[in-house]
Structure 1
């Protein structure tokens, strides 16, 4: 992602986020290198850096002299300069975590509850948030992010069926989250949130174009392009779970038959009732077909596999890449394998949800710092 500041006076908040993003991506970095990379004057960068140091968001370090003169100080993000709350709601339960600016999950809590109603869910969220706020490891909180299954705003598919939050239609989710946490609130579908988390904290720092395949109660994904989620016309691009996989196959709550997530998802695994290794062998053709479809549609540098399932379970799925069919991604000069595991599978959605709040503060592509959450319905 090309970071460029603005010299217009009204662009000051934007320039703050530009400088923060440059430090996050390229630190340790000097003031002069920041100025050259984002197109701002050294004086402007130095003024912003002083503010950010005073707020504890960045750290400055002085190298030992190696010759004449004093080397310039270098800047890095202070991992404990702020924290965010990541919350993930699924039909199986609710998780909440305290996450620092480096993406470390400092503490996490979980409540197992089947298909919680909005009232019950936000009551639980409020309780979990209060426990995390009381933690001695909790510093200044930037905001709270909530990830939940998509797609959003699709009449026949949103909040319908076993892989989504049934009964959540027409709920002002963002406002409920703001009320339950007392913080700036951000919401996103869990597959896009997990992809953003990987962008901020994991392999996304090395990649420009990758597809994040999210294996959850359902199956979804998101294509990342130059630091941002490719969303499509209505924000639901990447919903691979509803690609037809079996002609006249199992009925899907979306109204079609044979959708991929009816065979390849945690919900499918639970319904099938097989030992993990047997089930993985059974779904191998579906997994490989999904990978080939993603590659031919998006031409990603790699497909990052993240999930809610235990690491050992996902490791078994990842072994299926050995038998991948041909596609436009089957090239000899690849710098990365066609499929890689996410940097933290177990916490992918939680870190992604926290990343929503962190991006709101640190990234020039997202909202104003500490802005008041808008009312809206997912």
Structure 2
């Protein structure tokens, strides 16, 4: 699964989260297997298991003896041990989903409020979260995670142009989210939340090192290395949307020309007014150039194409990228295709946002994605 526990003194909350994730990913499982996977002693794991079981996060079962000795106790996640809510804001509207501890979508709601103001959005979020909480009245609600398009903290790019939330600069996102929901609140970029959802619940669970290419209204991506999302100095690593891919190309709202997002994104698809196959053919050169750039920069096991694109459009994009130019990823000993399509669909980002809340509550000091020591996404209003 990639993530490893820590023996540092401050790491106990983090280890709780890692053990819970290991049980979710591999259960039914045993204490010994978990200890081997996360790099902790069986004694440490047993102590954490006892706490998690007492708190109702996991379930244990011992099979009937079939010979000498007692069979080991098997452990699995308790889906009803807690719930979290994921919220996703885009220029197209708002989505929210109630997610259980196993990552299942219990219910979801959508609002077509396009390009809404912060006041409008948080009023809607309050109502949407209340509706979702009513689906499991009286159940333990761990928190709410909010995701929205980046980059953040970059004056010439943040909240500028048709692919971002214009007018949302300097909004106290975490405080307002907590206020309207009454829950512990956590914030993340959409591409990073989706990568977390992919790693936990999608095809990303198969790989220790993958690049998640997120096609939303705009475009983003993030490299996941040994289960940890690589964030950069200010949390904006992976904003490939503003790579200048076409010399003297289309003018971008950031002020540069030929930025990748002007060609590869849902905004570009809708603006061009072409059918899916024709659009994929038209932007094929830009997409292939972006993919081999990603490969040469990060050397991933594979690139996972996910986000909000309809499955039919994703299939067309994969078609035009089937024959990629040479890169460091063109290896004879590959175990996976260079590009695969996520099977998580639009719920991936919501599941990731909800998982962020679960991690933040279980590991209070390590609430942000993905690694210990990161306590807030730089550039976001606290």
Normalised to the residue count of structure 2, the TM-score between the two structures is: 0.91
1:78 aligns with 2:82: no
Contact between 1:194 and 1:348, CA under 8 Å: does it hold in 2? Answer: yes
Cα pair distance change 1:246/1:33, threshold 3 Å? closer
Cross-structure match for 1:377: 381
Partners of 1:38 and 1:277 lie apart in 2 by 44
Contact persistence 1:21–1:362 (CA under 8 A): no
Contact 1:308 1:348 in 2 (8 A): no
* Unpaired runs of at least 5, structure 2: none
Residue 76 of structure 1 and its aligned partner are, at CA, apart by 1.5
Deviations along 1:211-264, one digit per CA (max 9) or x if unpaired, are 100001111111111111101111111111111122111111111011111111
> What is the deviation of 1:305?
0.5
Distance 1:231 1:15, change over 3 A: closer
1:302-317 paired onto structure 2 within 5 Å: 302-317=302-317
Matched, 1:337 2:341: no
Distance 2:141 2:35 in 1: 29
Distance 1:108 1:215 in 2: 21
- Aligned in 2, Cα 1:39/1:356: closer, same or farther, shift over 3 Å? closer
Does the 8 A contact of 1:17 with 1:361 survive in 2? no
Map of 2:145 onto structure 1: 145
Q: Which moved more, 1:313-322 or 1:127-136?
A: 313-322
Contact 2:213 2:305 in 1 (8 A): yes
Is the alpha carbon distance of 1:296 and 1:47 closer, same or farther for their aligned partners in structure 2, counting shifts above 3 Å? closer
Q: Is the 8 A contact 2:17 2:359 kept in 1?
A: no
Moved more, 123-132 or 337-346: 337-346
Secondary structure of the corresponding residue to residue 135 of structure 1: helix
TM-superposed deviation, 1:289: 1.2
**Could you tell me which residue of structure 2 aligns to residue 213 of structure 1?**
213
Query: What is the CA deviation profile of residues 30-86 of structure 1, one whole-angstrom value per residue up to 9, with x for unaligned ones?
Result: 234444555655454434322211221111122232321220111122222111101
Residues 223-234 of structure 1 aligned to structure 2 (within 5 Å): 223-234=223-234
Corresponding residue for residue 135 of structure 1: 135
Show the 5 A alignment for 1:1-378.
1=2, 3-6=4-7, 8=9, 12-35=12-35, 42-136=42-136, 139-361=139-361, 366-367=366-367, 377=381
Aligned length: 375
Displacement, 1:20?
2.1
* In 1, Cα distance between equivalents of 2:40 and 2:330: 42
Alpha-carbon distance change, 67 to 120 in structure 1, aligned in 2, over 3 angstroms: same
Deviation at 1:17, TM superposition (A): 2.9
Could you tell me whether the CA contact under 8 Å between 1:18 and 1:363 is conserved in 2?
Answer: no
What SS does structure 1 have at the residue aligned with 2:306?
strand
The two structures, once aligned, show a CA RMSD in angstroms of 2.6
8 Å CA contact 1:83–1:142 kept in 2: the answer is yes
Of stretches 31-40 and 203-212 in structure 1, the one that deviates more from structure 2 is: 31-40
Distance 1:145 1:277 in 2: 35
Q: Could you say if the C-alpha distance between residues 254 and 201 of structure 1 is closer, same or farther in structure 2, counting changes exceeding 3 Å? A: same
Q: For the Cα contact (< 8 Å) 2:13–2:363, is it kept in 1?
A: no
State the SS of the aligned residue for 1:279: helix
Matched residue of 2:80: which SS?
coil
The CA deviation string for residues 293-332 of structure 1, in whole angstroms up to 9 with x for no partner, is 1111111000011121222221221222322111111112
